Structure 1
Amino acid sequence: MASRPPAPTFGQATKLWAKIGLLSFGGPAGQIALMHKELVEERRWIGEQRFLHALNYCMLLPGPEAQQLAIYIGWLLHRTVGGLVAGILFVLPGALVMLGLSIFYVLYNDAPVIEALFFGIKAAVLAVVVEAVIRIGKRALKNRVMVAIAVIAFLAIYVVGLPFPLIILFAGLTGWIGNRLAPARFSGAAHGKDNLPDVRGAVDLMFERGELAHTRPTKWHAPRTIAIWLPIWLGPVVLILALTGPASVWTQLGGFFSLMAVVTFGGAYAVLAYVAQAAVTSFGWLAPGEMVDGLGLAETTPGPLILVLQFVGFVAAYRNAGALSPLAAGSLGALLTLWVTFVPCFFWIFLGAPYIEALRGNKALSAALTAITAAVVGVVMNLALWFALHVVFGAVHRVGLGTEVPVLSSLDWRAALLAAAAMVAMLKLKIGMLPTLAGSALAGLALLALPA
């Protein structure tokens, strides 16, 4: 039998969380795989089954599941301070890079070379989103009921314009009811690999020795956590409302992205369609093409893909700076967006993690999550179509309840060619996301010199 590894010191854990934060490219799948390799396979700080159990819990929560998994394991190892360090270091490198890219974008986006680079990146982003639809669909659409939920969700957001939070709510209720009527149709497979051996780690030893008393909830745990973390999360939003009024861009950013932090089930791709609709159409913060640019920037940075919201916050405040300089306003907008997006992640983990055993094996909750995941496929399909319309066509018009239809004469063959090539590269040739983005950006330099 292999020797049991010793529990990591706080310093050792901090170094590893910093390493993971710097290397966490590739979206949640790549980030979770990296954590599994570092924490389970190489260092054996946490056992296989406990890792998957924590991941299943994080999949139930709104927000970026990979960052929440880091917070959860950091909290397991070193209490609240461990969770704080793990979660902050997971986001900080990407947030700093994203801030620099956002500043570069608003200052130099009008330069012909930069415009050409982003022309190529937009086409590659479309391929990335299509690949996400396929990946999520294979996991989620296991039977006709799940396919039907995905199709209904797509029609609800694309044709009817139903808000994303309502789609998630209806999908969850459908799963909860479906568990009672036809449980076999709504039983989702566990997230993770099947039939894995129970590789035990340092955390398991700590449990056996009774060293993880902080994981056992007390009667005051929930009230105390809520009393501490709700003011930390929403206090700045309330203060900004009092100082600047309900119509200011700061209040709009704080309120809107606080709502997003509650309803972002299914990861970044799922919520981006709703954010794009609100940021472009409702608030007028960005143009349609700029939302695609932001996603392209987020794809090239480490950390959660949801960092694209930081780009939205920066550009929105930059263009509505008021008495501040545009760069200062943009930086504050990015910071506010980061705060209300990621502070709730700590709140969800610190509040719910001690009750995780009560959630384990809850079939009704699992069924609700299964239906929500299926609905997410439909929402991401809408995002892919939205991107395609605004990347490949120069103009769209609205019909019916607001459904966007392309103006066929505005087709840009160069963008269509680049998008098709990026899809072949990623889906057929299995070329990675970052090389595909880089190749598309360089190809954009050449193609933009040709007539549309």
Structure 2
Amino acid sequence: MNEAEVTFAQASRFWLKLGFISFGGPAGQIAVMHRELVERRRWISERRFLHALNYCMLLPGPEAQQLATYIGWLLHRTWGGVVAGGLFVLPSLFILIGLSWVYVVHGQVPWVAALFYGIKPAVAAIVLHAVWRIGSRTLRSPRRVPLLWAIAVLSFIGIAWLDVPFPWLVLAAALAGALGGRYLPDQFPGAAGHGGDADPHGAERYVIDDDTPPPPHARFSRARLAGIVAAGALLWLLPMVALLAWHGWQGTLAQMAWFFTKAALMTFGGAYAVLPYVYQGAVEHFQWLTPAQMIDGLALGETTPGPLIMVVAFVGFVGGWTRQVLGPDMLFAGAALAATVVTWFTFLPSFLFILAGGPLVEATHGQLKFTAPLTGITAAVVGVIASLALFFLVHIARPAGAAQVDWAALAIAAVAATALLRFKVGVIPVIVSCALAGLGLHWF
């Protein structure tokens, strides 16, 4: 890999932009990264992108943010990963702090609802685009139809109609992939030869191509692993000790830090899998906010860029405001501090998983006994993304409480999907255009 082909400044500008346009939960965010990094900028090949994604799917935490961290790390070492993962989260944190302040002071944010009335159909179109692009590449060869198509279809049925927990789908897909790699190796990409399938884009190479060897910083080292683990322990321990020294174990900030550390290690299957745990702790046990406030926070989290698990920033803000962690004269500062503390302890494990485990994952690239289970997961992801697309379409067509189909929202989704799939319009123009359409429909 020639790192000079993508400078640190170029990458940083992209990660910052991604932080502001990463709507639609993990499926939409992965779709944006796939379109930008694989298809448009050609920073990483399809196979390497999916190899990294499959590792992130196995981890607790927000997989899209971890994928950005992984690719940033692969391009520009540790600081590249820190910047990529950090910029994926920071815009969302600042936006949610601002919207949370509007919420607790003014109670309603109708302009946000109008703006994102148009964005939600755009997100549905982005997710449909992801199904098409990733599915057509993962499942496109006739020799791979039987096994991988079966995994994708069963995953779709399992999550859309049978409510099978996401972690079980991942484990089942990995097991099916492992067995398939052993007994049906011709079902998997690259099994027939070292080169694998032809690049559909032609002879132009990727910065990180299929045959690009791992750079020196991505090779496993026990000393490096020990250093990452030690640094992660200090980054967790020092803030926790400071919070304990400040207000003690019963202090709101210390309780938030410990609670969301545990939540971060339980987020297998995405934010929806851990939200019941967060609700139980934040609403019922600690009573940092009310059930109605939790629902409003989820709505804000779904309609702002960044991982859906960023709803924890809203929980922290409202909890810090109601508990007056810096006193009644510094309500906003205390609430913003609480939101920042919650975000720090929620996302710190994600960085450690990537920076510590990345070299081990890179060492498995191209080895069928390791890649086959991950390819099985990719097929399951296609089914999961398809179910999410269906979920979005159903909910924009008939929002909760609506008696009739919202044909305007479906029309926006159809136009956005056509722009993405047929005319190859960029994600940003589509999102902006749909947002303006939403504002126009509500105001005029």
Q: Please confirm whether the aligned pair reaches a TM-score higher than 0.5, indicating the same fold.
A: yes
Cα deviations by residue, 1:118-157 (Å, 9 ceiling, x for unpaired) = 2122222222222222222112223132121112112222
1:259/1:291 CA distance change after superposition, 3 Å:
same
CA contact (8 A) 2:317 2:338 kept: no
5 Å-filtered alignment, 1:6-405, equals 14-24=8-18, 27-33=32-38, 58-62=52-56, 63=63, 64-75=66-77, 83-84=78-79, 86-106=80-100, 107=102, 110-142=108-140, 143-187=145-189, 193=199, 217=220, 222=225, 225-229=228-232, 232=235, 243=250, 251-260=258-267, 263=268, 271=270, 274=273, 294-298=301-305, 306=307, 308-310=308-310, 312-321=311-320, 322-324=322-324, 325=331, 328-329=334-335, 332-333=338-339, 335-337=341-343, 339-341=345-347, 343-353=349-359, 355=360, 358-395=363-400
1:427 corresponds to which residue?
421
What is the letter of the counterpart of residue 255 of structure 1? K
- Distance, in Å, in 2 between the alignment partners of 1:429 and 1:288 is 37
What is the letter of the counterpart of residue 259 of structure 1? M
- Distance, in Å, in 2 between the alignment partners of 1:287 and 1:415 is 26
Look up the SS of the partner of 1:386 in the other structure.
helix
What is the letter of the counterpart of residue 336 of structure 1? V
- Distance, in Å, in 2 between the alignment partners of 1:214 and 1:435 is 36
Deviation at 1:444, TM superposition (A): 1.8
- Aligned residues between the structures: 389
* Unaligned stretches of 5+ residues in structure 2: 23-31, 57-62, 284-290, 325-330
Deviation at 1:445, TM superposition (A): 2.6
Look up the SS of the partner of 1:361 in the other structure.
coil
1:124/1:335 CA distance change after superposition, 3 Å:
farther
CA contact (8 A) 2:229 2:352 kept: no
CA contact (8 A) 2:169 2:380 kept: yes
Deviation at 1:361, TM superposition (A): 2.8
What is the letter of the counterpart of residue 114 of structure 2? A
- Distance, in Å, in 1 between the alignment partners of 2:86 and 2:390 is 32
Deviation at 1:331, TM superposition (A): 5.3
What is the letter of the counterpart of residue 441 of structure 1? A
1:361/1:416 CA distance change after superposition, 3 Å:
closer
CA contact (8 A) 1:280 1:286 kept: no
- Distance, in Å, in 2 between the alignment partners of 1:427 and 1:198 is 23
- Distance, in Å, in 2 between the alignment partners of 1:175 and 1:166 is 14
What is the letter of the counterpart of residue 123 of structure 2? V
1:20/1:139 CA distance change after superposition, 3 Å:
same
What is the letter of the counterpart of residue 137 of structure 2? R
Look up the SS of the partner of 1:373 in the other structure.
helix
What is the letter of the counterpart of residue 168 of structure 2? L
Deviation at 1:174, TM superposition (A): 1.0
Look up the SS of the partner of 1:448 in the other structure.
helix
Cα deviations by residue, 1:148-173 (Å, 9 ceiling, x for unpaired) = 11121122222222221121111111
> Aligned-pair RMSD on alpha carbons?
4.5
- 1:441 lines up with 2:435 in the alignment: yes
- Distance, in Å, in 2 between the alignment partners of 1:433 and 1:198 is 23
- Distance, in Å, in 2 between the alignment partners of 1:20 and 1:233 is 28
CA contact (8 A) 1:273 1:383 kept: no
CA contact (8 A) 2:114 2:439 kept: yes
- Distance, in Å, in 1 between the alignment partners of 2:332 and 2:279 is 20
Cα deviations by residue, 1:200-233 (Å, 9 ceiling, x for unpaired) = 99xx9x99xxxx8766645555455445435646
Cα deviations by residue, 1:271-311 (Å, 9 ceiling, x for unpaired) = 4664678778998687779757545531xxxxxx54x432x
CA contact (8 A) 2:228 2:352 kept: no
* Unaligned stretches of 5+ residues in structure 1: 41-47, 76-82, 265-270, 299-304, 397-406
Moved more, 61-70 or 286-295: 286-295
Look up the SS of the partner of 1:394 in the other structure.
coil
